[in-house]
Structure 1
Amino acid sequence: MHIEHLSHWSGNLNREMYLNRYGHAGIPVVVFASSGGSHNEYYDFGMIDACASFIEEGRVQFFTLSSVDSESWLATWKNGHDQAEMHRAYERYVIEEAIPFIKHNTGWFDGMMTTGCSMGAYHALNFFLQHPDVFTKVIALSGVYDARFFVGDYYNDDAIYQNSPVDYIWNQNDGWFIDRYRQAEIVICTGLGAWEQDGLPSFYKLKEAFDQKQIPAWFAEWGHDVAHDWEWWRKQMPYFLGHLYL
């Protein structure tokens, strides 16, 4: 398997940002880490090995990004607005710097895929919904898609609202976005077992919104034995990759 350990300077974040590449060809899959995770986490917890057949066949190549969650949504000593503003700086990094860097390294200029587990799933779905011109496929595993989980009630703060998928999706009536959502491949999965309870309310609210807006998506509920854990994400990711058009 082709592996590269890469880095580049981010002017938006004013630091060197590290990312890893796994694979030599195929659609780039941009991976967001779980809470407190690094760009090495996806490999360390066996997700790359779980998807190895897709990588070695040249169908996908994974790019695992660094996170700034400890300075944004997990920075509980900040007020909610400042947490959201740090996330916005990270968003600018991803869209203005990381994506062009990946394009330059791969020669891939079509739509990409994004994915993540737990907090990474929140990021993956949020980035897809905000930038469906960049991402045309998303696999979100065991996420919480409500910004209140991170900041509490946010009292109409637009910076937070714009990053709370369970809220803004209801008011997304722009035909440009809706058309791209309808053309995309969307997988949102949750287990019903241990530690999955935090994500269930937003999972069902999103499903209701997608149904109402006639956005095709696969809202997958796995069993009561399926926990919020890498053991299950290692099963889910290759399963869903096998059902996408790659």
Structure 2
Amino acid sequence: MESNICAVQHDPEYTVVEKRVGAHFLETVVRQFDEVYKNPSETKECDNLISIICHLYNFQVVHSVLVFDILKHLVGDFREKDIELVLLVLRNVGFALRKDDALALKELICEGQRKAGDVGTKFQDQTRVRFMLETMLALKNNDMRKIPGYDPEPMEKLRKLQRTLLQRRAGGRDMKLRVSLDNLLAADQIGRWWIVGSSWSGAPMIGEQNASKESEGK
């Protein structure tokens, strides 16, 4: 029985299926987030969806590139709701992002500070802007104590347990989906290249494009 379990854990086909399921769930959540974000309401649906994305990142389903893409988008728009969502992301996964890509986080913080200086004064309530800047400064200085109520211990325990399980199942391979926000939202047009063995849909292959151009030129 034990040998059968081990065989399943290291079965490449089984791993691919797992990755496809994770990719489908991720794409569904991101598309829903994009739709809700573009049509704001008084509900907490947008917050809940971005929290799910943060947890998918926390549990190694998706690479930090997606989270940074979302943060850049939020900082770029910089409305009150955007600031609220930025805070939500940074409080959930800010220090993990710092560990994964300190340079990208530094660039994001610089852009956030610039935006706050340019348009932050237009908000009647400056509390969120100040709190966002304080949170960013705490992340920049790697000072967890400066973020009220932040306790990384429970999540770190879960991440350690998960890393152990992943090493057994995937043989130490990196299983994270390294896909950008734009790629996920345009999957129907460009294809789902981040899924091993996925069928091409939408946009033509590069070779076909080149062949078409050559035939037009004749």
Report the TM-score, using the length of structure 1 for normalisation: 0.28
> Which structure: greater helix fraction?
2
Higher normalized contact order (CA 8 Å, seq sep 6+, divided by chain length): 2
Report the TM-score, using the length of structure 2 for normalisation: 0.30
> Which structure: greater strand fraction?
1
Computing the radius of gyration from Cα coordinates, the structure with the larger value is 2
